[in-house]
Structure 1
């Protein structure tokens, strides 16, 4: 059996995805498998876009005209071209140059973030990105550990932002599944017995800016807006619907997949369960 090349960690907010991703990375390292851990928010994510704007040539040329001078050189240094799209890593630019940047420039880029685009255009960019990653990963020796970009990000963009039909979301993620099949991926979904308890715990423990932004995002657009959900209680209702959708998607996927319950928040026991599952995946019984 060829070496597995990708572990996907999924689950709802507060369920323990980031912890699981870190533990999986540690376990693979202990198993002497070369591994790369890619967490949510990574500006160099190899299969997703974080803080990246997508411009047409006309939009890019106009932005270059506005910038002028050294700003134009900065723009060019953080831009790649793909299928007539200009992809600008504007978050990296902000991190490097901050207040020195023209405000109009940054306003235009944030409005064109890949996650602000129409859903069909967004999906086309993301699926192309996953294809590029798969081709690259097949050539390298490492196993990648991804935190929440396989199911969560498409569902957030499709359901939460655009209120897309369930059939559309299923087809989108099944398309991603087909792309990554050569990597022999393993999907690990982190579960909690009590969704509300886990999310309220996350709200208490994380910065106020996180919970305010999360609630606003989940209730001011797409599915939450159409359903009339408001505030924390409304966000919980949206999360319950999201969980149902993701369970349906999980059941339809044919890749290697497992669910791991993290309700006890017992780190060592949690790690041992993950270790046992990973060992079985990497070393299947003869003839399987």
Structure 2
């Protein structure tokens, strides 16, 4: 039997992904396994991009020409990639202490991997998953990697929420990633919440105001939300309901071990017992 090398935790915002990802990690460590947990927002994510921009070579040269004073900093932090460069702008600021003017940061952000075209995003993300899978298979240890939300949520945030792509394109995007990781014998744990409106309200009440304002703005002012004319909290909930419907369909189509975990009651002890059985 193939060793399990990857566990994927998915679900809507506020469903309990972070908590349950940590719980899965604790249970596996308790079983004596080696575990690597990558949560949302990790700047060193091995299969996703967080705060990274992509420039084709000629566009990067145009950026350097526009901001000649920062040429050296930008060039020394850029990573050559596929006839272009990747700029890890969040890492530059948060880990290397590099402060760039707002205008430069704004220009770079407009090329973030989750701001560029859908086709280019799919290409870059797919290649990142391919490299991740290859790296895992080339190591001899049997450690288990846990990813929170980058397998279904992030592709659909791009494909459905931002770009309003067809159902087929969104399904194909995630299904393609599923095929890449097949050799890692993945387990998908989808955390379900029956009442999406309640879950989202709970997330709003528990998180900073900037989070909810940013989230609602992102969901309603582009792509699918804009096309439907959805607005405010209510509109965001409607988009989340559409996302859930699509995620359920994708879940059904994926050919991998998978568990639909109901966390509507936020009963962590009940979740732990279920997870201990599963794992």
* TM > 0.5 fold call: yes
Q: CA deviation at 1:274?
A: 1.1
Matched, 1:195 2:196: yes
Distance 1:224 1:73 in 2: 40
- Higher alpha-carbon deviation: 182-191 or 195-204: 195-204
- Higher alpha-carbon deviation: 95-104 or 269-278: 95-104
| 1:33 matched residue in structure 2 | 33
| 2:102 matched residue in structure 1 | 103
User: Per-residue displacement from partner, 1:145-165 (whole Å, max 9, x unpaired)?
Assistant: 000000000111000001110
Distance 2:253 2:158 in 1: 20
Contact 2:36–2:144 (CA<8 Å) still a contact in 1?
A: yes
| 1:22 matched residue in structure 2 | 22
- Higher alpha-carbon deviation: 161-170 or 53-62: 53-62
Contact 1:74–1:93 (CA<8 Å) still a contact in 2?
A: no
Matches within 5 A, 1:46-195: 46-68=46-68, 71-96=70-95, 100-140=99-139, 141=141, 142-195=143-196
| 1:221 matched residue in structure 2 | 222
Q: CA deviation at 1:108?
A: 1.6
User: Per-residue displacement from partner, 1:193-223 (whole Å, max 9, x unpaired)?
Assistant: 2221111111111111111111111111111
Q: CA deviation at 1:272?
A: 1.7
Matched, 1:268 2:253: no
Distance 1:2 1:72 in 2: 48
> May I ask how many residue pairs the two structures share in their alignment?
277
SS for the counterpart of 2:230 is: coil
| 1:285 matched residue in structure 2 | none
Q: TM-score if structure 2 supplies the norm length? A: 0.94
Contact 1:181–1:255 (CA<8 Å) still a contact in 2?
A: yes
For structure 1, the residue ranges without an aligned partner over 5 or more in a row are: 279-288
Distance 2:59 2:75 in 1: 13
| 1:283 matched residue in structure 2 | none
User: Per-residue displacement from partner, 1:16-42 (whole Å, max 9, x unpaired)?
Assistant: 011111111111111111110000111
Q: CA deviation at 1:264?
A: 1.9
Distance 2:64 2:95 in 1: 18
Contact 2:67–2:104 (CA<8 Å) still a contact in 1?
A: yes
Distance 1:100 1:255 in 2: 44
User: Per-residue displacement from partner, 1:48-83 (whole Å, max 9, x unpaired)?
Assistant: 0100000111222233345556x4443234322221
SS for the counterpart of 1:114 is: coil
Matched, 1:10 2:10: yes
Distance 2:242 2:102 in 1: 38
SS for the counterpart of 2:114 is: helix
- Higher alpha-carbon deviation: 100-109 or 225-234: 100-109
For structure 2, the residue ranges without an aligned partner over 5 or more in a row are: none
| 2:247 matched residue in structure 1 | 246
Distance 1:187 1:88 in 2: 31
